[in-house]
């Protein structure tokens, strides 16, 4: 049995990177794109945790979905002895894979609740697989709903251009995308002139993934170096910056790919709108502000080298945080499947998320 969620409406969902087969999980190796489309087959939670850590799969919602399937695999392949201990260990391992995107912990908590309610391994195998599929399907549905809300909020009558950062498309989600879902929807409605895609150093999610995903689906895209964003805004080429999120805290601060904060500062200076699009699984009302979020720092080699080719003096000291915090005050709208928080602050966030 292969599960790829079916769109509830007749919308193309883009190139998805996660395929569930009941006893195995396939992940499209995003490290090799756009050069090579290689799928990795996994039969255990350890492999899924490793794939999240190594960025085979990335993007907050896709990480959460993959981790959920990882727990389902742990049950499916449990030895039968102390199956509870095996599943608990799998959850611990998955939780340690990456620290920042809250979707990972949200998905694992959902899986853990189901696990605690199971009385036998048979029951756990069935119910954990079905919960993981539900998480996957709900994410796709949320992406459609967010695109609809965003379009209504934008209220455009003529085509305009947007600028985006990182990759927030089908590859990063259960399909369609968050910020790129809005882009897809604008394109479907013939309201999209062009998408400027920041290349997004150092992993180049914009250059390798967003440019690939959009051009493959016939959506206009222009790739730019991250440093060109100010010049693009100064030329008045874009009306809106649209980005995703890895965690949105109770006061409306947004933790997202490094460089997002700079874009928000630039957008405010140039009077360009700044919109964040993320499912409610990215909202973390238990964390007061962005200052309380653990920001992942990755190895300096990601800055010093590209695919083994040196770009900087060997061993040079590097600061490589992979996310930053955009203060709520720089954000015009946070769009979720539950609705839009306009000029986010703690009151607006509480009104929608409790």
- The residues annotated with a catalytic role in the active site are 246
Residue by residue, what is the 3-state secondary structure of the chain?
CCECCCCCCCCCCCCCCEEECCCCEEEECCCCCCCCCCEEEECCHHHHHHHHHCCCCCCHHHHHHHHHHHHHHHHHCCCCCCHHHHHHHHHHHHHCCCCCCHHHHHHHHHHHHHHHCCCCHHHHHHHHHHHHHHHHHHHHHHHHHHHHHHHHHHCCCCCEEEEECCCCCHHHCCCCCCHHHHHHHHHHCCCEEEEEEECCCCCCHHHHHHHHHHHHCCCCCEEECHHHHHHHHHCCCCCEEEECCCEEECCCCEEEECCHHHHHHHHHHCCCEEEEECCHHHEECCCCCHHHCCCCECCCHHHHEECCEECCCCCCCCCCECEEEECHHHCCEEEECCEEEECCCHHHHHHHHC
Regarding 326 and contact with ligand MRU (CB under 6 A), the answer is: no
Pick one of 44, 175, 244, 348: the residue that binds ligand MRU (CB under 6 A): 244
Pick one of 217, 246, 253, 332: the residue that binds ligand MRU (CB under 6 A): 246
* 205 labelled binding-site residue: yes
CA dihedral 119, 121, 123, 124 (to 10 degrees): 100
* 60 labelled binding-site residue: yes
Regarding 61 and contact with ligand MRU (CB under 6 A), the answer is: yes
Q: How far is the CB of 296 from ligand MRU (least distance, A)?
A: 8
* 109 labelled binding-site residue: no
Pick one of 45, 60, 67, 72: the residue that binds ligand MRU (CB under 6 A): 60
Pick one of 51, 97, 161, 205: the residue that binds ligand MRU (CB under 6 A): 205
- Looking at the Cβ atoms of 205 and 249, the one nearer to ligand MRU is 205
Regarding 66 and contact with ligand MRU (CB under 6 A), the answer is: no
Q: How far is the CB of 116 from ligand MRU (least distance, A)?
A: 28
Using CB under 6 A as the criterion, what x/- string covers residues 85-104 for binding ligand MRU?
A: ----------------x---
Pick one of 51, 97, 168, 249: the residue that binds ligand MRU (CB under 6 A): 168
Pick one of 44, 59, 175, 206: the residue that binds ligand MRU (CB under 6 A): 59
Regarding 143 and contact with ligand MRU (CB under 6 A), the answer is: no
Which tokens belong to 326?
């955009």
- Looking at the Cβ atoms of 161 and 164, the one nearer to ligand MRU is 164
- Looking at the Cβ atoms of 45 and 142, the one nearer to ligand MRU is 142
Regarding 33 and contact with ligand MRU (CB under 6 A), the answer is: no
Binding site for ligand MRU (CB under 6 A): 58-61, 101, 166, 168, 172-173, 178, 205, 244-246, 256-257, 322
Binding residues: 58-60, 98, 205, 256-257
Binding residues for substrate: 58-60, 98, 205, 256-257
């Amino acid at each position: 049995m292969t599960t790829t969620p079916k769109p509830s409406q007749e919308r193309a969902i883009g190139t998805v990177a996660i395929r569930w087969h009941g006893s195995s999980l396939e992940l499209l190796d995003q490290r090799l794109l756009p050069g090579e489309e290689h799928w990795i087959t996994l039969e255990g939670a350890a492999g899924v945790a490793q794939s999240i850590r190594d960025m085979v799969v990335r993007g907050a919602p896709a990480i959460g979905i993959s981790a959920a399937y990882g727990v389902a695999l742990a049950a499916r392949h449990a030895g039968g002895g102390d199956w509870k201990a095996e599943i608990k260990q799998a959850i611990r391992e998955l939780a340690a894979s990456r620290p920042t995107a809250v979707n990972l912990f949200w998905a694992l908590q959902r899986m853990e609740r189901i696990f605690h309610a199971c009385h036998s391994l048979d029951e756990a195998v069935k119910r954990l697989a079905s919960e993981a599929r539900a998480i996957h399907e709900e994410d796709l549905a949320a992406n459609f709903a967010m695109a609809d809300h965003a379009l209504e909020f934008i209220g455009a009558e003529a085509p305009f251009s947007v600028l985006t950062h990182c990759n927030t498309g089908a590859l990063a989600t259960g399909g369609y995308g968050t910020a790129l879902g809005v882009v897809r929807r604008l394109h479907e409605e013939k309201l999209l002139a062009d998408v400027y895609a920041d290349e997004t150093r150092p992993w180049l999610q914009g250059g390798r993934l967003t440019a690939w995903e959009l051009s493959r689906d016939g959506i206009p895209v222009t790739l730019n170096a991250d440093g060109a964003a100010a010049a693009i805004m100064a030329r008045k080429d874009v009306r809106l910056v649209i980005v995703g999120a890895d965690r949105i805290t109770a006061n409306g601060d947004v933790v997202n790919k490094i460089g997002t904060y700079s874009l928000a500062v630039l957008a405010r200076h140039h009077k360009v709108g700044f919109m964040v699009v993320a499912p409610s699984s990215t909202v973390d009302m238990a964390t007061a502000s962005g200052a309380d979020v653990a920001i992942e720092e990755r190895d300096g080699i990601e800055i010093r080298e590209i695919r083994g080719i040196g770009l900087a003096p060997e061993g040079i000291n590097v600061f490589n945080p992979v996310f930053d915090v955009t203060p709520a005050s720089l954000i015009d709208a946070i769009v979720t499947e539950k609705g839009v928080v306009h000029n986010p602050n703690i009151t607006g966030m509480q009104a929608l998320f409790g």
